[in-house]
Structure 1
Amino acid sequence: MSYEEPMVAYDYGPSFSSILTTLAAVALLGLGIALAVLLMRLVLVATRALTVFSRERELRLETLLAETGAAAPPAPAAPPAPTAPPAPATPAPPSADDDRTEGTPPPGGDASDDGDATPR
């Protein structure tokens, strides 16, 4: 009979590949956090820069309006000038239809299209 050694697994601790995998995962996590922080800082800086830029434009516009006087309140309007009295209207010559002028409708309010002004 031959003597066989028993199969014994010797565990000397974590392997090199498991350590390397753990370090890579930690490095990637740190890189992700750093990128997120940098992105947030970039957004804050851009927001502040846009605020400063727009405020500067507002101040320039206000200064320009103040220099030209456009921002001053308008002066009160002068009263309207008196108009000439209308010329007296000359009466139209009377027509043959009960002393009515040509353009006036008949008293009954019934105006015909053919020019007949007789009431019905």
Structure 2
Amino acid sequence: MKSINLQRTESLLMELIPEALSTLNDVRICSLPITGVNCKNGKYDATVYFDGSDFEKNEIAGVISALTKANGRIKEYILSATGWYKCPTFKFVNDTSLESSKNIEDLFRQIEKKKKDES
């Protein structure tokens, strides 16, 4: 179970990271949906999950690379917005949970259709 302070930090980062991305000039990442933030080691490391469903699988690596290059600017934005003395180092990961939940929904639809066809 996470501490309240860590949960607050994650929540604040969920708000600030998209704001920071919107200030960048890269069209691939300036409006990228952030789906989650998971802080580890206090505020020293954070895994940032994004929804890459608008991109082809071969484009995801380029998006992650662009995000990694923008890490310094994102940190600067967050430090200026929060007044923190230290900002986490971000690791960006494509969130595939949305895709898998969509696949599960499709399976449920197929089962429902099959039951209707049988009756």
Higher strand share: 2
Say yes or no: TM over 0.5. no
User: TM-score normalized by structure 2?
Assistant: 0.26
Higher helix share: 2
Greater relative contact order, per chain length (Cα 8 Å cut-off, separation 6+): 2
User: TM-score normalized by structure 1?
Assistant: 0.26
